[in-house]
Structure 1
Amino acid sequence: MSSLPALTPKKITAIGLTLVFGALGGGAFVYLTMPLPWMIGALVVTTAAAMGGVPLKGPGRLRNIMIGVLGIMLGSSFTPDALANVDQWAGSLSALLAFIIAVVAINAFYLVRIGGFDPVTAYFAASPGGLATMVTLGAEMGGDERSIGLVHSIRIMLTVLIIPFWFRFFEGYVPGSATTGAVTDIAGQDLMILALCALGYPVARLLKLPAAPLLGPMLFSVGVHLSGLTAAKPPSEIVNLAQVVIGTGIGCRFVGISARHVMGLMVIAAGSTLFMLALAAGAALGLEAATGLEFRALWLAFSPGGLAEMTLISLAMGIDTAFVSTHHLFRVLFMIAAAPVVFALIRKRIT
């Protein structure tokens, strides 16, 4: 089992500076009443600082902890009421499979023909699985690791920026309308139960589950909430901190990359992202008409953001978090399992 690199005073200082930038960005976006202010403000400011040459460092260990908080928050949304229509999810999950296949095929073709990517790099850059997994698999198969990572990072960043602003200015979403209670509003016993859900992380690592920092605490949280042990959610202070940490994590992916050097790739990735978002919106409209499920939840469920990021958006906006997160988890697990198998089958044809 791999371990994270040791923390040196220099790294600690860089992480501290990163979190200061993130907090300042989040605070500014709160003041401006922007959507998802703590995450998007942190993302925008740290991305700008990173590409401007500021020596930032992603909060790796703290990010895992905050992803765990998000998992606990996510698990708290799996209530009997939230699962009342779970029988309707089979159709949308099946449609998601077809959607993923179409997205990968069309995106890979676009990245080869328009972006000039080699077929291996295009395939793994077009596959909407976990960023780290697709980068690792792509590098092992001979793809350009840096290009794969940047395309996924730009896709996640743009999706996180576009969707909340769409809901803010076209759907009337009011920032702060779906917050959780403060830490002082939660009983000590409930706080203890929520804290114990964090044990799901080491258990998930022991079982070698994918997305262990999120999935382990989430499954523990689902258990305690469905069993009726608690109805509490993590306090707003910790959820806001999680947003800052996750936002800075996205921004720090651009450390060492100047805007001048990445501009061409950013334009290519932006075209890919806009296509995926438009296709997701079209699929959501069709499924809404066919199943009666809500367009907003369907669009979030099919959009090409990261699992953690899209879950945060659904939580902040009060949009059927259980539904959205289940679809993104299904997508990630499917891509982790299917991407290398499909690549092995088509490798001789595309290389």
Structure 2
Amino acid sequence: MLKRTVITVGLGFVGGWFATLFSLPLAWMLGSLFMVMGLSLMGVKTGVDKRLHRTAIALLGLFIGSRIQADELVGLVLWYPSVLAMLVYMGLMLIGGFWIFNRASIGRMNAIFCSYPGSMNSALVLAERANGDLRWIAISHSLRLVTVVSGAAFVASFFVDDVALASSSSALALVDILPLLLAPLCWWLARLLRIPLPEFLGPMAAGAIIANLGFDYSLPTGVVLTAFLVLGASVGSRFSGTQWSQVVSMGRYGITFALFALVVAALMAWLVSSFTQLAFVAVLLALIPGGVGEMAVIAMVMGIDPVYVVSHHILRLLLLIFMTPLMLRIVNQPLK
């Protein structure tokens, strides 16, 4: 298994590198996923050791947790009109998406995970724990992410000429090692306390605690990109034995859902901006189900408060995580 894991992750690295050349959103994850997926569909034997996969999940949990700031979530009280709109939007996305994907004959549980309005990483992690079929969930979210982020970036291009991203260090210093050691401890504690998804929620809690204690800490870029790379390669390897015709068929539903998400978000943003002083573009970026980082960067480029945008996405992420058990119980009930 070690040899196959090394080969699979190596192939994923090539895909991630190519994806960065085309500035694909979440390049190291989606590039890795598409490369390994394509080769798996052509018959290449791929696979990633489960222990490495779960370690990547723990690192992603730590990464997401380190971005959760309590003061940002407190600010949501002042923006309650758009928060209420976001809650309605979540409901419409889950119901509408479930209706769309249920027609793809992939099962009710898979349909609900395909319908998640944002957070591809969390949807994949939660779906795996529920024994969902990650192939279709990965396709639907990849198409949604590319469509939404590309559309938002296209809109932003009318406001600015160029986008400059700040560079971050990829070196692993001693101060970076301590949170990495804290993550497995919180993973173990979460498992001991029987918290659902302990390898994800435990490290996420650790990252949130560190961030809100006042420490200026963020995971090194290399560690985060490696986690994305491993998760993408792992999901891509799940396509072994799948037919291309199945992928194309599922892709139609994924694009339909992405367009549905954009149209409904635009309508909701227009309603909120019409009855409040909140700007249409700001509300739109807070609602559309793109990546948190990508939406924050676009917001900064357009002169919009990134805290406003990020706080909505973080709240939606937390709600989705804790709502998942209830939603699964509902969709798994037998039809009458």
Please indicate, yes or no, whether the TM-score normalized by the shorter chain is above 0.5: yes
Task: Supply the distance in 1 between the matched residues of 2:129 and 2:226 (Cα, whole angstroms).
Answer: 29
Give the alignment's Cα RMSD to 1 decimal: 3.7
**2:220 counterpart of 1:235:** yes
Give the equivalent residue in structure 1 for 2:119.
none
99-108 or 239-248, which deviates more = 99-108
State the shift of 1:291 in Å: 7.0
Task: Supply the distance in 2 between the matched residues of 1:262 and 1:98 (Cα, whole angstroms).
Answer: 31
Q: Pick closer, same or farther for the CA change 1:292–1:65 going to 2, 3 Å.
A: farther
Q: Which of 209, 216, 230 in structure 2 is aligned with 1:245?
A: 230
Give the equivalent residue in structure 1 for 2:75.
85
Give the equivalent residue in structure 2 for 1:341.
330
How many residues of Structure 1 are paired with residues of Structure 2 in the alignment?
Answer: 317
* Equivalence map 1:1-351=2 (5 Å): 11-79=1-69, 82-83=72-73, 85-88=75-78, 91-111=81-101, 115=103, 117=105, 121-122=107-108, 125-126=111-112, 128=115, 130-131=123-124, 149-172=134-157, 177-183=165-171, 186=173, 188-228=174-214, 230-287=215-272, 290=276, 292=278, 295=281, 299=285, 302-303=288-289, 310-311=291-292, 313=294, 320=307, 321-341=310-330, 344=333, 347-348=335-336
Instruction: Tell me if the contact between 1:281 and 1:299 (Cα under 8 Å) persists in the aligned partners.
Output: no
2:231 maps to a residue whose letter is I
Specify every segment of 5 or more residues in structure 1 that has no aligned partner in the other structure, as ranges: 1-10, 140-144
State the shift of 1:260 in Å: 2.6
State the shift of 1:247 in Å: 2.3
State the shift of 1:233 in Å: 0.7
Aligned to 2:72, the other structure's residue is in SS state: coil
Aligned to 2:323, the other structure's residue is in SS state: helix
TM-score, normalising length: structure 1: 0.73
Specify every segment of 5 or more residues in structure 2 that has no aligned partner in the other structure, as ranges: 117-122, 301-305
Task: Supply the distance in 2 between the matched residues of 1:275 and 1:103 (Cα, whole angstroms).
Answer: 8
TM-score, normalising length: structure 2: 0.76
Task: Supply the distance in 1 between the matched residues of 2:252 and 2:139 (Cα, whole angstroms).
Answer: 10
State the shift of 1:242 in Å: 1.7
1:242 maps to a residue whose letter is A
87-96 or 329-338, which deviates more = 87-96
Instruction: Tell me if the contact between 1:301 and 1:328 (Cα under 8 Å) persists in the aligned partners.
Output: no
Task: Supply the distance in 2 between the matched residues of 1:79 and 1:339 (Cα, whole angstroms).
Answer: 29
Q: Pick closer, same or farther for the CA change 1:335–1:91 going to 2, 3 Å.
A: farther
State the shift of 1:297 in Å: 7.6
258-267 or 102-111, which deviates more = 102-111
2:35 maps to a residue whose letter is V
11-20 or 71-80, which deviates more = 71-80
Q: Pick closer, same or farther for the CA change 1:240–1:116 going to 2, 3 Å.
A: closer
